[in-house]
Structure 1
Amino acid sequence: MKLHWQILIAILLAILVGIMTVPESAIYEIYDFIGTMFLNALKMVIVPLIMSSIISSMAGLNHGDSLGRLGLKTMAYYTMTSLLAILIGLTLVNITLPGIIDGQPAGDLLNLNTNSAEVASTLSQVEGRGSKDLVEIFVRMIPTNIVEAASEGQMLGLIFFSLLFGFFMGRVEGRRGEVLRDFWKGVAKTMVLITQFVLKFAPLGIFALIAKTVSATGFNAFEPMLVFLFTVIISLALHAFIVLPLLLKFVGRVSPIKQIVAMSPAMLMAFSTASSSATLPLTMQCIQKRAGVSRKTASFVLPLGATVNMDGTALYECVAAMFIAQAYGLELGFITQFTIVLVALLTSIGVAGIPAASLVAITVILGAIGLPLEAIGLLLVTDRILDMLRTSVNVFSDACGTVIIAKSEGESWVLNQDSEVVEAVGD
């Protein structure tokens, strides 16, 4: 049975069982135990997964003309679109306020632990950040001890180190360089397999977490979750159908409609698999055979995009972090929101292109701004449908970037205005 059907069944069963479960009973404690084990497994893979993904991706930038004009254009496009996506999500979540219901934080409705002294102390530190903390963000990006940073989960420092290590590792020539690159590619592949193994238990973890919440709060948790769901969907739609088409029209000078038609098979596959990596072969085929991009441009821009360009994922991470902060009753100032934007941008680089991998990255954002990780369980309720949608946006953004960069490189036949699609193209 496909994972998304397993998760759907788990959600429905959890609702039914949760209604019949008495809070603080022995069964309730079992829910708590299973849910905690699943969340711990997600947290376990964070550091090695993100570090290995970033290092292996950065090393790939150092081959051939990757660091030339084509590489600079690609990275500039990916950074710009990811930032635009995050800002769209941040703006909309500040308007809809999904974590606020009837003027009150939705923490109690969502069964969040808002009363303990430890949580209260943590939240007060998050809310009280000022201009000095902005400087501290950049100071923490350069860790004095990389091992200590890894043990304490200081992901900003780890990401910065991984970017540097991967970049200069790619410049090591000869056999030593090949051994290093093969090693980190192997680590990245291994961590993807471990993450996929952990996610096989997602239906069980989701069942336990939802059953626990329904048992404690009834159906009250569904209102804020629905607002959150539609906030993310509307934000993704704005980015996919307004921002990216505008870039195609005014920067790439191509028809957005023809681009959507050309890439529709890949976007549908991305929606069904929720994996940009699994969709990559079809994306390559569509961008070359249907959009008319040369193999040279497509073979560089698309694989890199499938690894580091995650517009939909970055947007989702930002909205999710803000939703949880609102549910805890925090009024986040500019400094904390800037932190969320920065960390969402950086962690989107290291998110593996597999289903539900962004849940791992969200733990990084919550940890960076000091929010408790228990709220991650809430996101599992809506994650599958949002995962499918954001993956489609990720793939479409990669394709748009490839077309725009190809046009800037003088490939005038791309999305030829005289034909719907280009059936074949030379190298």
Structure 2
Amino acid sequence: MATDQHSSLTRRIVTGMVTGILVGAFLQWLMPNGSDLVIPLYLFDFSVRAFFVDGVFEVIGQIFISSLQMLVVPLVFVSLICGTCSLRDTTKLGKIGGKAVGLYLITTAIAISFAMTLAMIVSPGEGVNMTAETTFTSKEAPSLATVLIDMFPSNPFTAFAQGNMLQVIVFALLFGIAMALSGKAGERIASIFQDMNEVIMRLVTILMNVAPYGVFCLLAGLFTDLSIETFGNLIVYFLVVFFALIIHAFITYPVLLKVFTGLNPVTFLKKMRDTAIFAFSTSSSNATIPVTMETTTKKMGVNNSIASFTVPLGATINMDGTAIMQGVATVFIAQVFSQDLTLADYLTVILTATLASIGTAGVPGVGLIMLAMVLEQVGLPVEGIALIIGVDRLLDMTRTAVNVTGDSMVTVIVGKSEDQFDTDTFNDPEAGRNIENIDFHHLKD
């Protein structure tokens, strides 16, 4: 019965996604180029765009996104405190953090290196001879010193209110360590946080059950205004980035998982389905944190003491999907403007993008800011970013799905290496499924 229930939830989410795309495409056909369809009724004129696109789809979709974002800060804070105070040796945090950051940087370097190699082979910008009609003005990215200073909150409540994940992570780590060192008092508070963690995870389950409707509205609204004509001459660039993202998700991650853990990559990818759909629909690694946390702990068997640290950290600094976009975009823009890049330039791009994945953590519009930094490092015109903005929305959805897959993969590797991992849970196809469906008619057993 559990299998049927889980299949039903997964099927409903996929159905919501596909139906939303089809409905959006149909409305795009009815209302091309942002036009409206007005149906005269007896008492008033009915606007299809105002009622559906700007009304129902927008309201439900944004409520769904806000509901996910609502849980991010309390989930990360409570889970990380529970994980930290449960560690018998708090010095392990440095070891766990070093492994996680190292793996995230390695996968980012692999991603951008592969993407640039693929772009040079395909040459998406050769012979295009395009010029930027608009310019892109990049925000100044903070220095590494500024990022390190800003990791420590002067006011933790401000960090909570602003959703500054690095500051929330640091404060939660310090609070958890203090609890672990406080004896009986710390144990009493820890039991409260453990109960809070259970309640928050149940909230995640509730959201998963209403997810099909949120996913439908988000994609229906997006595809109503997204025409295939947007791609134009950039279709080759789009396909190269998309192909690189797929290869990274289905080959790079499974190979690394197999090499470092010996686990079955197919099982891993199957258990990532729902989380990837959430990420694709929301285009936000942060908004997907609650679902990623539930997947890595309940379905894959990673101990909360590991997942509560590596998942929010990955959502903040893991930029594999963005790195792939940067690699292809750099080669594409260089070819469009007929500028040759040397081997030193390519190495500079790889190094800059890899380090910038941490250096620009938490900055709004991080993908375009990082790309502007990369282009400036090798002397390419920053206004070239204007050429790819039009097709970046769909790619952003895909690379977010790739990013959360990378977050989960690193979490499993770190958990396995620290003996904080249940292999039986990972291999059990039923793991975590019994909590995914809620009987709202019978709230108490």
Indicate whether the TM-score tops 0.5: yes
The structural deviation recorded for 1:159 is 3.0
Q: 1:220 to 1:287 in 2, by over 3 A?
A: closer
Report how far residue 402 of structure 1 moved.
0.4
- Choose the corresponding residue for 2:390, options 381, 387, 407: 381
Match of 2:239 among 230, 233, 240: 230
TM-aligned CA deviation for residue 325 of structure 1: 1.1
Distance 1:415 1:256, change over 3 A: farther
Q: Which residue of 1 aligns with 2:102?
A: 76
**Relative to 1, partners in 2 of residues 1:368 and 1:186: Cα closer, same or farther, differing over 3 Å?**
farther
Q: What is residue 160 of structure 1 aligned with on the other side?
A: 144
State the one-letter code of the partner of 2:143.
I
1:111 is matched by which residue type in structure 2? T
Give 1:111's match in structure 2, choosing from 131, 134, 137: 131
Question: Secondary structure of the residue that 2:428 maps to in structure 1?
Answer: coil
Q: Secondary structure at the match of 2:420?
A: coil
Shift of 1:165: 2.7
Residue 342 to residue 418, structure 1, CA distance change in 2 (3 Å): closer
Larger Rg: 2
Per-residue CA deviations over 1:84-121 (Å, capped at 9, x if unaligned) read 111111110111111103xxxx23xx2337xxxxx9xx
Partners of 1:258 and 1:415 within 8 A in 2 = no
Secondary structure of 1:277's aligned partner: coil
Root-mean-square deviation (Å) = 4.1
Compared CA separation, residues 351 and 386, structure 1 to 2 (3 A): farther
CA contact (8 A) 1:309 1:394 kept: yes
Do structure 1's residue 179 and structure 2's residue 189 form an aligned pair? no
Instruction: Supply the AA of the counterpart residue of 1:165.
Output: I
* TM superposition shift of 1:263: 1.6
The residue identity in structure 1 corresponding to 2:335 is: Q
Contact 1:415–1:421 (8 Å) recurs in 2: no
Q: TM-score, normalised by structure 2?
A: 0.59
Identity within the alignment, %: 32
The answer to whether the 8 A contact 1:252-1:405 is kept is no
Contact 1:302 / 1:402 at 8 angstroms: preserved in 2? yes
| Superposed displacement of residue 12, structure 1 | 6.0
2:137 is equivalent to residue 95 of structure 1 = no
> CA distance change for structure 1 residues 377 and 388 in 2, over 3 Å: closer, same or farther?
same
Identify the residue that residue 410 of structure 2 maps to in structure 1: 401
Q: CA deviation at 1:187?
A: 6.5
Query: CA deviation digits over 1:335-363, x for unaligned, max 9?
Result: 21122112211332325497x64223322
CA distance in 1, matches of 2:310, 2:132: 42
1:264 and 1:220, CA in 2 relative to 1: closer, same or farther beyond 3 A?
closer
Secondary structure of 1:179's aligned partner: coil
Show the counterpart of 2:261: 252
Q: Is 2:302 aligned against 1:293?
A: yes
Unaligned runs of 5+ in 1: 16-59, 114-118, 120-151, 171-177, 191-202, 211-218
Letter in 2 for 1:81: T
Measure, in 1, the Cα distance between the counterparts of 2:125 and 2:92.
43
1:184–1:420 distance in 2 versus 1, CA, 3 Å? closer
Alpha-carbon distance in 1 for matches of 2:424, 2:331: 39
Match of 1:198 in 2: none
Q: Which residue of 2 aligns with 1:307?
A: 316
Q: How many Å separate the matches in 2 of 1:14 and 1:417?
A: 47
TM (normalized to structure 1)? 0.61
Distance 2:366 2:112 in 1: 18
Contact 1:93 1:322 in 2 (8 A): yes
- How far apart, in 2, do the equivalents of 1:221 and 1:89 lie? 20
Q: 2:327 aligns with which of 314, 318, 325?
A: 318
**Does structure 2 retain, via aligned residues, the 8 Å contact 1:290–1:422?**
yes
Of 338, 343, 346, the residue aligned with 1:329 is 338
Among 261, 267, 286, the residue aligned to 1:277: 286
In the alignment, the residues of structure 2 paired with residue 278 and residue 184 of structure 1 have an alpha-carbon distance, to the nearest angstrom, of 16
SS at match of 1:78: helix
- Residue 396 of structure 1 aligns to a residue in which SS? helix
Aligned residues: 303
